[in-house]
Amino acid sequence: MSLIDQTTAPSSVRVSAGARSIGDALRTQARVIGAIVIRDMHTRFGGSLLSYSVAVGWPLTHLLVILGVYMIMGRDPSYGTDLLVWTVSGATPYILFFYPVRWVSQSLNVNWNLVHFPVVRPIDLLIACSALEILTGSILLIIMFALISINNGSFYIAQPVLLAEAVAASMFLGISIGVFAAPFVKLISGFAVATMLCCLLMWITGGIAFLPDSVPDPYRSYLAFNPFIHAAEWFRLGLFDDYRSETLDRGYLLSFSAVALAIGLAANRLLNR
């Protein structure tokens, strides 16, 4: 019995010590990421709640500008009868996609001086920026839907679960492309501009101002290579009661995002070396 105790006790002690070590490391990383998030908020938004509120509200100007242009043109909604809801159906997923791309892709370049601290790694910068963008996007979404409800008297979402999936997929796409671009933005001058131009191209061909299914083949199949178009169609599928889409390919969108994220993480690891 004593022999068993002597042989097993050191192993259990090692397991316990290893678990504590992993737990301590995770808590340390969580504190580091939290500190970077707070610093990023102070740096980017001026360190005040009012500044952060303005920053959250700024993407709403994109929606208002698009809506204003449509109203001046006298345009009817491509689907449904409410021009505001139609505009939201395309602009919202793009906003949830674009801002993560913009800020996450710049996170290494802007905050690289923090890597000189021993506890901070480049991956912490990417995680912190992604977490802040998820928070900001979620607040923006709540405000946007609240304003629509106030303006229209009510706001009906056909399939809330499907809409939530589309929101998550839009953010996932934006964060993944941002992580992919971040190491190259750090290393290559002009890559940030190229990334923004790609986002602009995805905006133009992303089905925001038109119904993708109304585009005849083979042009519709060409447009379907744009991963964002699937996020927009997914969002509309959850928002409208009887919306149908032959263009939507959720598997392609998620696969594209996963591959972009994997390449970005691998490039980030090479950058560390």
The answer to the question of residue 25 being in a domain is: no
pLDDT value at position 251?
96
DSSP secondary structure of 30-79: HHHHHHHHHHHHHHHHTTSHHHHHHHHHHHHHHHHHHHHHHHHHTPPPSS
**C-alpha span between 111 and 96 (Å, rounded):** 22
Burial of 13 (0-12, 13-18, 19+ CB in 10 A): exposed
pLDDT value at position 98?
93
DSSP secondary structure of 166-186: HHHHHHHHHHHHHHHHHHHHH
Q: What is the 3-state secondary structure (H, E, C) of 104-154?
A: HHHHHHHHHHHHHCCCCCHHHHHHHHHHHHHHHHHHHHHHHHHHHHHHHCC
- Asked whether 126 and 174 are in contact (CB, 8 A), the reply is no
The answer to the question of residue 262 being in a domain is: yes
The answer to the question of residue 64 being in a domain is: yes
pLDDT value at position 100?
93
Q: Which residues contact 115 (CB under 8 A, 6 or more apart)?
A: 121, 122, 125
The answer to the question of residue 14 being in a domain is: no
Domain enclosing residue 254, as ranges: 48-272
**C-alpha span between 24 and 120 (Å, rounded):** 15
pLDDT value at position 103?
93
pLDDT value at position 47?
61
The answer to the question of residue 82 being in a domain is: yes
The residue length of the chain stands at 273
The answer to the question of residue 26 being in a domain is: no
The answer to the question of residue 123 being in a domain is: yes
Say how many domains are in the chain: 1
Token pair in block for residue 113 = 């001086």
The predicted model scores a pTM of 0.86
pLDDT value at position 68?
79
Low-confidence stretches of the chain (pLDDT < 70) are: 1-20, 45-51, 81, 273
The answer to the question of residue 40 being in a domain is: no
pLDDT value at position 2?
46
pLDDT value at position 30?
84
pLDDT value at position 166?
96
pLDDT value at position 119?
85
